[in-house]
Structures are given as C-alpha cells and as structure tokens.
C-alpha cells in the first residue's frame, strides 16, 4: 500500500466519517449512489449530505445529481486528488497503528492491552442517536 | 467529530464498511437470465446469416448492445454502484497492474470468438443439431463467466480497489 505513496495525515479526511466516505468511494466502483454509500458507511442522510459538501468543496469528491422519474438521485465519485490524499492518509494510519500496537504490546501484559479489548461496535451503531421510546399513556 | 487517530479500529472499520458495499453488488434475480438472453442473441448470429440472409449481422450486434446497456443500467439502479467498462490493466505509480476480473474478461472474449467460429463450421457442414448444442453450451459458459466476473468485482470492492 505504501509503495509510491507519501504517508502523511490529511486534516480534511481525518474525521472518521469523511475517511469512511472517501475509503468507500476508492473501493473500485466508478460511481456510488447516495443510499448505497449511506448504508455502507452506516451514517444518516444529513451527515452524508453535510460531509459530502465539505469533500466536494475541497475537490476530493465529484457529485452528480440526477433523477429517475420523480425521484432525485445523487451519485458520488472520488477525484484523483481525493484518491491521492486518501492513499497518503491510509498509509499514515497504517504506520500509526503499527507504532501504537508495537508500543502497547511491549508496555502492558496481554490481558490489558488495547488490542485485547472486546470488539467495539460499528461506526453507525455508535454515532446514531439512541431512540428512546416514549412512555406509554395511562401508565405511571 | 471523533478523532480517527485515537481509534485503532479505524482501518478495521473501513474493511467492514467495504464488505457491506461489496455485498450490495449482488445481481438481482433477472440479471443472469437477461445476460443469457443477450448471449443467446449474439450466438444466433451464425444461424441468422445462414438462414435469414436479409438480416444484417450489425442489426444482431445492435440488439445485443442495446440488451447489454439495458442490463447494466438495471444493475446500476438496483445496486447503487456503477462499475463501468474496466480496462485489463491500469497504470499506477508508473507501473501497470492487472485489474481484478481480467481472467474472466479474457475468457469471455475467447469463448465468444471460439463459439462463433465453431457454430459457423458446424452449420457449413450441415450439423445443425450440433451447432445448437454448441450455442447452448456457449451461453451457459458465458453466463458462468459473467458470474465469476461479478464475483471478482465484489472482491475488488472488498479489498479496496488498491487504495488500502
């Protein structure tokens, strides 16, 4: 992955939502539709809209809007600039992960290391607000 | 917004999300029967040229192209993922890399040409039944290869298309 790629952090795709969007768009498809991207990233409509505007303004993502019948459809594509930034950022993340795992393995016993924690929930599960059902009418 | 650098599971999360995207790239029920019809139309070319001299070979090609466009449009609409015509190799960092799906695409081309030639030969020698069997076999092989091609595209989506 790091061959020919300069490993450096990109502040624009550093937040995990934007990293997810760029990472999914770089995954081999030419264009990805709004709903497919939203479902795969596990984020809400509003979050995707907001973050895609930021990425589009930066020139990382190309947005195409159209309609099928009366239903509007939005398609996303990663630009060459966005791909370059993502590859550099992913290389930097991989380096960081290696450094962190090497330092934690050396410093702590295996049962208390960062990597030994149980699997964390997915982004969509963590970032979505928890829906609390309203109390039933007639009950105390 | 959370800081990704503090989350050691960020890359793992990206892999999970790519798996979800790849799982969407499953063809709907009508896609493979549609592909079989499109290939059948293509492989009726030798029969049409022999028995229907008024039918132009380009007309058959045009019908097949229209069917393909319709199938791809439907697949894109159903999955939300557009995968255009893929080159057999791509230039990256000054080096050429073979794209996933290359073996299946080459096999599809080879089977198309070979099956067409075999059909022409069999029809010329009056072996119509054998030509029909060859056509049916070629359609089955092409549909299987197309499934393999879609599988390789899914694999490409899972692996990140070379991005990570």
In terms of Cα–Cα distance, which of A12, A31, A25 is closest to A88?
A12
**Over chain B, what HEC string results?**
CCEHHHCCCHHHHHHHHHHHHHHHCCCCCCHHHHHHHHHHHHHCHHHHHHHCCCCCHHHHHHHHHHHHHHHHHHHHHHHCEECCCCCCEEEECCEEEECCCHHHHHHHHHHHHHHHHHHHHHHHCCCHHHHHHHHHHHHHHHHHHHHHHHHHHHHHHHHCCCCC
ipTM tops 0.85: no
Rounded Cα gap, residues B139 and B35, in angstroms: 9
CA distance B48 to chain A (A): 37
Mean pLDDT across chain B: 83
Question: What pLDDT band is residue A118 in, cutting at 50, 70 and 90?
Answer: very low
Task: Tell me if B8 sits within 8 A of A113, measured CB to CB.
Answer: no
Q: Per-residue pLDDT for A130 more than 60?
A: no
User: Residue B107 has what pLDDT?
Assistant: 92
Rounded Cα gap, residues B41 and B67, in angstroms: 9
Q: How many CB pairs under 8 A join A and B?
A: 125
Rounded Cα gap, residues B66 and B30, in angstroms: 16
With beta carbons under 8 A apart, name residues in chain B contacting A40: 17-18, 20-21, 24
With beta carbons under 8 A apart, name residues in chain A contacting B162: 28
Cβ separation of A19 and B14 shorter than 8 Å?
yes
Of B9, B14, B100, the CB nearest to A23: B14
Rounded Cα gap, residues B128 and A20, in angstroms: 56
What would the pLDDT profile of B73-118 be if each residue is shown by its tens digit?
999 989 999 887 666 666 666 666 667 778 888 899 999 999 999 9
Rounded Cα gap, residues A17 and A51, in angstroms: 8
Q: Which chain B residue's Cα is nearest to A83? A: B163
With beta carbons under 8 A apart, name residues in chain A contacting B160: 23, 26-28
CA distance B55 to chain A (A): 35
Question: What pLDDT band is residue A120 in, cutting at 50, 70 and 90?
Answer: very low
Cβ separation of A23 and B94 shorter than 8 Å?
no
Cβ separation of A20 and B14 shorter than 8 Å?
yes
Cα B19 → chain centroid? 21
Mean pLDDT by 10 residues, chain B (164 residues): 55 88 90 92 84 77 88 90 72 66 88 92 91 94 92 85 56
Euclidean distance between the first and the last CA atom of chain B, given in angstroms as a whole number: 23
């Amino acid at each position: 992955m790091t061959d020919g790629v300069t490993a450096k952090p990109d502040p624009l795709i550093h937040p995990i939502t934007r990293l997810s969007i760029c990472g999914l768009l770089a995954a081999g498809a030419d264009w990805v539709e709004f709903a497919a991207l939203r479902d795969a990233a596990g984020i809400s409509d509003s979050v995707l809209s907001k973050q895609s505007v930021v990425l589009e303004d930066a020139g990382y993502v190309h947005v195409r809007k159209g309609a099928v019948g009366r239903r509007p459809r939005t398609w996303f594509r990663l630009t060459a600039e966005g791909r370059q930034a993502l590859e550099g950022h992913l290389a930097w993340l991989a380096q960081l992960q290696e450094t962190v795992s090497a330092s934690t393995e050396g410093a702590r016993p295996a049962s208390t290391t960062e990597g030994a924690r149980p699997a964390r929930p997915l982004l969509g599960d963590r970032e979505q607000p928890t829906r609390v059902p309203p109390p039933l009418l007639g009950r105390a | 917004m959370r800081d990704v650098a503090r989350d050691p599971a960020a890359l793992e999360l990206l892999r999970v999300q790519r798996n979800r995207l790849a799982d969407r790239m499953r063809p709907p029920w009508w896609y493979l029967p549609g592909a079989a019809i499109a290939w059948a139309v293509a492989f009726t070319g030798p029969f049409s040229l022999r028995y229907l001299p008024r039918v132009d070979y380009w007309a058959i090609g045009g019908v097949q192209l229209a069917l393909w466009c319709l199938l791809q449009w439907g697949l894109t609409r159903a999955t939300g993922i557009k995968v255009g015509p893929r080159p057999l190799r791509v230039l990256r960092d000054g080096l050429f890399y073979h794209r996933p799906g290359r073996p299946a695409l080459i096999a599809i081309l080879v089977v198309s040409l070979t099956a067409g030639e075999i059909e022409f030969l069999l029809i010329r020698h009056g072996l119509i039944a054998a030509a029909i069997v060859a056509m049916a076999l070629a359609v089955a092989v092409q549909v299987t290869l197309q499934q393999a091609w879609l599988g390789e595209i899914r694999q490409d989506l899972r692996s990140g298309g070379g991005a990570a």
